[in-house]
Structure 1
Amino acid sequence: MSMTTISRRGLLGAFAATMVTAAPTMSSAFGFLKGAGDIRRIRMYNGRTGESLDTVYWIEGEYIPDALKEITYFARDWRTNQLKTIDARTIDIAAAAHNLMDINEPYMLLSGYRSPKTNAMLRSRSKGVAKNSLHMQGQATDLRLKSRSVNQMYRAAAACHAGGVGKYSRSNFVHMDCGPVRHWGA
């Protein structure tokens, strides 16, 4: 009897790529992901584009390149439609914080990659936007949840001790990045 062999990685890689419904290592965050088994998953939606993402992006110690490409597309600068590779370490921090909060609700992505043009426009409107924002490097996300407060999200991300975590209570979101460990906000 002859049977075609499909590797687990190949099967899960194909599965992860089909889970995206969007249009056409570093840190102790990894420790919080260990309880997730052999996979890492991220769930998000973007209210501006109407797109959703639910993908396994890491299996058995390796990132899945096609899933990371889907994340990069999903987190593009929606104002200019420009892309920059999203640093997987930032996704690891968001996934670890999500696991710590023990929820199924997807994050709402407010901002992923920002082109220099978009960052300059936002900076002209708000003093809270950094001139050399890690968003322009594809190393930061601004996220919101309906079922968790900004304080709960902030505490979960800060517990990862893995990058920058900013609390923006008035705007109801948390900034997570893979830069140096630091915390800010009110």
Structure 2
Amino acid sequence: MISRRQLLTNAARLSAVACSGAGFSLTAQSSEADRTLRLYNIHTGEHVTSTFWSNGHYIDSELQSLDLLVRDHRANQAIAMQRELYQRLFDLQQLFAAEQPMYIISGYRAPHTNRSLRQGSSGVAEGSLHMQGKAIDIRIPGVSHRHLHQAAIAMRAGGVGYYPNDGFVHLDTGRVRRWTS
């Protein structure tokens, strides 16, 4: 759980970002610092702790371990996800001082998986950016979905979908837009 002090600090940071009109990125403040993600795939039960950025460079083997974790578990297929998604996950993890791994609901989706999911839900886009490695659905234990949604919007980068009834937030690297389902 995030402490009251951390929540107030994070809220002040979000307010400053929203008022400044600038896009939000913690990583821009310290480009040389290591960036480590702690992720948990809710479907496979797999955990990864990965330092995907160190000494000012991406680490390919670490990116591959992240890509494998966020693979289409139904088809057991992985592709190289857009690095910007991992940067945004890192920023959110830092913002909320997340102590537990971030939960991955959906990362990459093979086209046939997307078609199958689309048949069962109106919330799955026909041309989903998940199929291109440009979208990810997440939740952070101990962080309200509403606060996560607000923080993602404050980044002003890509699409942000809010699925409060399903318990996750969608992030993508497409054009800036937002929606609620």
Mark yes or no: TM-score above 0.5.
Answer: yes
**Deviations along 1:33-61, whole A, 9 cap, x unmatched?**
24566111211111211100111101132
Give, in whole Å, the separation in 1 of the partners of 2:54 and 2:68: 20
Contact 2:161 2:178 in 1 (8 A): yes
1:81 is aligned to 76
2:103 maps to 1:108: yes
Q: Gaps (5+ residues) in structure 2?
A: 1-21
Q: Which has the larger radius of gyration?
A: 1
Give, in whole Å, the separation in 1 of the partners of 2:88 and 2:174: 11
Quote the sequence identity (%).
37
2:177 counterpart letter in structure 1:
R
1:33 is aligned to 27
Q: Gaps (5+ residues) in structure 1?
A: 1-26
Q: CA deviation at 1:28?
A: 4.2
TM-score, normalising length: structure 2: 0.82
TM-score, normalising length: structure 1: 0.80
2:159 maps to 1:159: no
**Deviations along 1:60-98, whole A, 9 cap, x unmatched?**
321111111111111110001011111111111111122
1:153 counterpart letter in structure 2:
L
RMSD of equivalent CA atoms:
1.7
2:165 maps to 1:170: yes
The structure 2 residue matched to 1:146, chosen from 125, 138, 141, is 141
Contact 1:96 1:160 in 2 (8 A): no
2:156 counterpart letter in structure 1:
H
**Deviations along 1:101-153, whole A, 9 cap, x unmatched?**
22222111110000001100111111111101010001111111220111011
Contact 1:164 1:183 in 2 (8 A): yes
Assess, with a 3 A threshold, how the Cα gap between structure 1 residues 60 and 160 changes in structure 2: closer, same or farther.
farther
Moved over 3 A (4+): 34-37
The structure 1 residue matched to 2:123, chosen from 117, 125, 128, is 128
Give, in whole Å, the separation in 2 of the partners of 1:106 and 1:35: 23
Give, in whole Å, the separation in 2 of the partners of 1:79 and 1:173: 19
